[in-house]
Amino acid sequence: MSSPSTGSSPEKLSWLAHPITVLLLGTVITALGVPWVTARINDRKLINDAQLQKCIEILKISTETDEQLNGMDTTLEMFIKHSSSTRKSLSEQQERTRIEMEKQYGEFDLHAWWWCSRLPTEAKLLRIRVDDKALGSLIDQYQSNLGESTKTLDELWDRCLQADFSPTDKANFEIAKRVRVHLKALRTTRAGLVGQFVHLIAPSKPPWFSF
C-alpha cells in the first residue's frame, strides 16, 4: 500500500482562492495598510509644510535685514546731503543722526545675526533633513558677510559723527558712494547665500514619495 501524501494538496489550499477568503484578506490588508499609508503621507505633508514655512521665514527676515542696512546707509547719506544746506547747527544734526542710527541699528541687531544660527536646531525639531556641514558653512559665510557689511557702514557712520566733520568736504560724497557700492555687492552675495539656505531647507519631493 502506498503511504498518504504529506504535502499540501490542491484541495487543501483551495480555500485560499475562495471569494470570501479573498474578500476577507483584502479587507484586512485595506484596514491595516491604508491608515498606515495615509498616516505616513500626512506626516510627510506636515514636514513639507514646515519646510516651506521655514523657507518663507528665511526670505522674509533676510529681506528685512537688507532693508535695515539700506535704511541706515540712506540715513547717513541724507545727513551728508543736508548738513550743508540747513540752518540747524551741525552738532544738532549729528545728534539727531546719532539717535536715529542707534535706533535703526538696535532693530537690525535684534534679528540679523541670530536667525541663521538657529537653523540647525530648528531643522532637527522640525525633522527636516539637511546637510549639517553645508548648513554650517552657509551660516559662517552669511554672518561673515553681515560683519563686513556693518564694518563698511561704520566707515561712513564714524565720518558723519566725528567732531571735525566738514559739510563742504567733497570726500564725504566719495566715501558715501564707495560705501553704497560695496554694500550693494555684499547684498548680492548675501542673496546668493540665502538662495542656498532655501535650497537646503525646501522639500525635495512630494509627501507620497516618502515612506
Q: What is the mean pLDDT of residues 178-197?
A: 97
Closest among 149, 185, 163 to 71, alpha carbons compared: 149
Pair 138, 196: CB distance under 8 Å:
yes
Sketch out the chain's domains with CATH numbers: 53-209 (1.20.120)
Interval 125-154: pLDDT, tens: 888 888 889 999 999 999 999 999 999 999
Which are the contacts of 142, defined by CB distance < 8 A and separation ≥ 6?
116, 190, 193, 194, 197
Interval 18-43: pLDDT, tens: 566 556 666 656 655 556 556 666 66
pTM of the model: 0.76
Longest pairwise C-alpha distance within the chain: 128
Phi and psi at residue 20, to the nearest 5°: -65, -40
- Give 108 or 206, the one with higher predicted confidence: 108
Does residue 60 register a pLDDT over 90?
Answer: yes
Would you state the torsion angle of the CA atoms of residues 58, 202, 183, 112, taken in this order, to the nearest 10 degrees?
20
Closest among 188, 82, 100 to 145, alpha carbons compared: 188
As a whole number of angstroms, the distance between CA 6 and CA 29 comes to: 31
Pair 194, 56: CB distance under 8 Å:
no
Does residue 98 register a pLDDT over 70?
Answer: yes
- Give 3 or 111, the one with higher predicted confidence: 111
- Give 49 or 19, the one with higher predicted confidence: 49
